[in-house]
Amino acid sequence: MSSSVERATTHWPTSSSSRLLVDGELRAGGAGEFPTVNPATEEILGFAADADARDLDAAIGAARRAFDETGWARDPAFRARCLLQLRDALTRNVGWLRTITVAEAGAPSLLTRGPQLEGPIADLGFFADLAESYPWITDLGRAEPMGVPTRRWVHREPAGVVAAITPWNFPHQINFAKLGPALAAGNTVVLKPAPDTPWCAAAVGELIVRETDLPPGVVNIVTSSDDARGAQLVADPRVDLVSFTGSTATGRAVMASAAASLKKVFLELGGKSAYVVLDDADLRAACAMAAFAVCTHAGQGCAITTRLLVPRARYDEAAAATAAAMSGIRVGDPADPGTICGPLISARQRDRVEGYLRLALEEGGRFAYGGGRVPGMERGFFVQPTLVTGLGNESRVAREEIFGPVLVILPHDGDDDAVRIANDSPYGLSGAVHGTDLERARSVASRIRTGTLSVNGGVWYSADIPFGGYKQSGIGREMGVAGFEEYLETKVIAESA
Ligand code: NAD
C-alpha cells in the first residue's frame, strides 16, 4: 500500500501501548491491554489500556470531585483558556493524530482535512468562545406573583458529571462534539470511546496531560474492550448526564438503564436518510453526488444518504447514472490522498454489510453495481460500493441502517410521494433534496421530518449548526448553541424585592 500520509510527529511516550487518563494521570488498565487493528491491512497497530470496573469507578470519582470540589464549574474564562490550549495542542500534533486516525479508523486521509480531524479540532474554538460569551444569567426583572414583590433571575449552570460514550466512525468529531460543549459549559467528563478506536481517544488524553492546564479529574478517558464499561458508566448514580452516540439499539439500552436513576440522556443514533431527486433536477449530476455521498468513508456515517428517491419515469436512467458514478470511485488505501472509500472498520462490520447484501437478493433486489468484496483486495475489510435496484421502501434493506457503501434506489411519483417515502422510516436524521425550482425544493425539504437537510448540495456540517435526529435517530442536538445548552441545567432565583 502507498504511504503518502504525513509522518508521525509524536509517538506514545513510553511504549506502543496507550494509557487511560484517570484523575490527571496516565495509567495502565486493570484488565490489561487489547489490540487495536488497522482495518485496511488487518494488522495489529498496537495495544490500548483495557479498563476494568475499578478504573472506571476511579474515573467517575475523579470527575465527581473535580466538579464538586474545585472552581472549574464556576470559571468560564479558565475553561475557555483550557479549551484553546487543547485545540492548539491538537493542532501542533495534527500529523501524529492524522496517522493514528487513518490507520485505526480507516478514515480516508482526505477527510482528516475536514470532519474526521481538522474540522473538529477547530470547532473547539467555537465552544471556548461560547464559554465566555454565553449569557449565563438572564434578569427577568420584577414582578408581583401572588402579590409578593419579587426580582427574578434565570441562571444556566453545568449539569455535573457527563458520561460521554462514542462510536468509531468519526472518532474525533464525535469525541470533540461532546468534550467541547460539555467542558465549555462547566461539566466534568468521563469519555468512553469505542473499542475499535481507542488510540484516537487515548492520544487526546496524552496531549491533555502534557500540553494543557486542564485540572485532574476534569477529563477522564477510559478505553476498554468491553461494552460493559459503557453500561457501568450509564448506571452509576454519580453521573448526572449521559451523552451517547451510537446505534439505536444501544441507545435504547442506555435510555432504559438511565431511567433507573432518572439521568438526563442525550442520544445521537442511527439513520436511513433519503436523497430526493425531483423531476426538474439535473438527474445525472444529482445521482453522481448521491453515489459519492454513500461511498464516503465506506458509508460509515450516520447522516449519509442511503435511500435514493428518483422520478419513476426516469428510474432506469437514474440507476445507470448512479452505477456509472460508483464505478468511477476507487476503493482503496485510506492513506492515499485520492481515496474517498476506504475499508469498513472490522470483520464484524463487513459481515454485517455482507449480510445485508445477501438480504437484498433474498428480498428480490438486484445489484446495478457492486454487491460484494473488492476483487484483488485480499487484505482489509473492503467492500464494493453497491447500488441496489428493484426493491420498495418496505424492504428491510430500505428500512434498516446498513452502515456500509450501499445505496438503494427507489421510485417516486412526484413531490408529495417523495415526501411520503422519505418520511416512511423509523429514522429522521438527515437528507437531501435536488431540484431546479428552488421554491419547490424548499417546500419538499420543509416537509421531511429530519434534523438536517441539504438542498442542492448545501453543507449543514459546522460548529454553529445543531445536529441531531427526529424519531429513532435520537433525542437532543449536538453542536451549535443548542448542543451547548444540552449540557446545562436551568435554575431560577427569586428574591423578595
Ligand atoms: P454501538 O452502539 O455498538 O456502540 C457505541 C458505543 O456504545 C461504544 O463505545 C460501545 O462500547 C458503547 N456501548 C455498547 N453497549 C453499551 C451499553 N449497553 N451501554 C452503554 N454503552 C454501550 O455503535 P457503533 O457500532 O460503535 O457505531 C455505529 C452506530 O453509531 C451506527 O448506528 C451509527 O448510525 C451511529 N452513529 C450515530 C451518529 C449520530 O450522530 N447520530 C454519529 C455516528 C454514529
Query: Is the pLDDT confidence value at 63 over 70?
Result: yes
The C-alpha cell 435520537 sits at 474
User: Hunting for cell 488524553 — which residue is that?
Assistant: 205
Distance (angstroms) between ligand 1 centre and the Cα of 360 equals: 24
Residue 302 alpha carbon, nearest atom of ligand 1:
34
Using CA positions, which residue lies closest to atom 19 of ligand 1? 231
Q: How many whole angstroms separate alpha carbon 290 and alpha carbon 304?
A: 9
Going by pLDDT thresholds of 50, 70 and 90, the confidence category of residue 11 is: low
Q: With contact defined as beta carbons under 8 Å apart, do 494 and 139 qualify? A: no
SS3 letters for the chain? CCCCCCCCCCCCCCCCEECEEECCEEECECCEEEEEECCCCCCEEEEEECCCHHHHHHHHHHHHHHHHHCCHHHCHHHHHHHHHHHHHHHHHCHHHHHHHHHHHHCCCHHHHCCCCCHHHHHHHHHHHHHHHHCCCEEEEEEECHHHCCEEEEEEEEECCEEEEECCCCCHHHHHHHHHHHHHHCCCEEEEECCCCCHHHHHHHHHHHHHHCCCCCCCEEECCCCCCHHHHHHHHCCCCCEEEEECCHHHHHHHHHHHHHCCCEEEEECCCCEEEEECCCCCHHHHHHHHHHHHHHHHHCCCCCEEEEEEEHHHHHHHHHHHHHHHHCCCECCCCCCCCCECCCCCHHHHHHHHHHHHHHHHCCCEEEECCCCCCCCCCCCCCCCEEEECCCCCCHHHHCCCCCCEEEEEEECCHHHHHHHHHCCCEECCEEEECCCHHHHHHHHHHCCCCCCEECCCCCCCCCCCECCEECCEECCECHHHHHHCCEEEEEEEEEC
CATH superfamily of 273-462: Aldehyde Dehydrogenase; Chain A, domain 2 (3.40.309.10)
Measure the CA–CA gap between 431 and 455, rounded to whole angstroms.
Answer: 9
Pocket test for ligand 1, best of 56, 165, 356 (most atoms within 8 A of CB): 165
CA angle 53, 57, 62 (to 5 degrees): 150
> Is the Cβ–Cβ distance between 108 and 342 less than 8 Å?
yes
Partners of 331 in beta bridges: 341
Which tens digits make up the pLDDT trace of 454-471? Answer: 999 999 999 999 999 999
Q: Amino acid identity, residue 25? A: E
Say if CB 177 and CB 302 are below 8 A apart: no
pLDDT at 8: 41
| Segment 295-310 mean pLDDT | 98
Measured distance CA(358)–CA(67) in Å, rounded: 50
Mutate to test the pocket of ligand 1, among 265, 302, 352, 403 (most ligand atoms within 8 A of CB): 302
- Full-model pTM: 0.96
Per-residue pLDDT at 12 exceeds 70 = no
* CA-atom Rg of the chain in angstroms: 23
Share of the chain above pLDDT 90, in %: 97
> What is the mean pLDDT of the segment spanning 416-421?
98
**pLDDT tens-digit series, residues 83-113:** 999 999 999 999 999 999 999 999 999 999 9
**Rounded mean pLDDT, 427-438:** 98
Give me the mean pLDDT over the 129-147 stretch: 98
**What's the confidence (pLDDT) of residue 17?**
87
268 in catalytic set? yes
Please give the pLDDT value at position 118.
98
- Which of 63, 137, 67, 123 lies closest to 91 in space, CA to CA? 123
Q: What is the pLDDT of residues 146-155, one digit of tens each?
A: 999 999 999 9
Of 132 and 4, more confident: 132
Whether the pLDDT of residue 81 is over 70: the answer is: yes
pLDDT exceeds 50 at position 129: yes
Report the pocket of ligand 1 as residue ranges, CB < 6 Å: 165-170, 174, 192, 194-195, 227, 230-231, 234, 245-247, 250, 253-254, 268-271, 302, 401, 403, 429, 469, 474
Q: Whose CA is nearest to atom 15 of ligand 1?
A: 227
> How much distance in Å is there from the Cα of 429 to the middle of ligand 1?
15
With beta carbons less than 8 A apart as the criterion, state whether 162 and 468 touch.
no
pLDDT of 13 over the 60 cut:
no
CATH 3.40.605.10 fits domain 3-269+474-496 = yes
CA 90 – ligand 1 centroid, Å: 24
Residue 7, pLDDT above cutoff 80: no
Ligand 1 atom having least distance to the Cα of 257: 19
Kindly report, residue by residue over 189-234, the tens digit of the pLDDT.
999 999 999 999 999 999 999 999 999 999 999 999 999 999 999 9
Residue 120 φ/ψ, nearest 5 degrees: -65, -30
What does the pLDDT read at residue 268?
98
Q: What is the spatial distance between Cα 468 and Cα 267, in angstroms, rounded to a whole number?
A: 8
* Residue tagged active-site, from 33, 104, 206, 268: 268
Q: How far is CA 104 from CA 12, 101, 291, 335, 346, in A?
A: 15, 5, 25, 11, 10
> Of 423, 357, 416, which Cα lies nearest the Cα of 391?
357
Say how far residue 33 (Cα) sits from the centre of its chain. 25
Q: What pLDDT, on the 0 to 100 scale, is given for residue 9?
A: 42
- Going from the Cα of 178 to the center of ligand 1, the distance in angstroms, rounded, reads 14
How far does residue 198's CA lie from ligand 1's centre (Å)?
14
Q: How far apart are CA 247 and CA 401, in angstroms?
A: 9
* Average pLDDT of the segment spanning 417-423: 98
Q: How large is the average pLDDT for residues 73-82?
A: 98
pLDDT at 5: 34
Mean pLDDT, the chain, whole residue set: 96
Q: Where are the domains of the chain?
A: 3-269+474-496, 273-462
Segment 153-178, tens digit of pLDDT? 999 999 999 999 999 999 999 999 99
* Shortest-distance atom of ligand 1 to CA 194: 9
pLDDT of residue 16: 77
Cell numbers found for residue 144: 408581583
- Evaluate if residue 120 carries a pLDDT over 90: yes
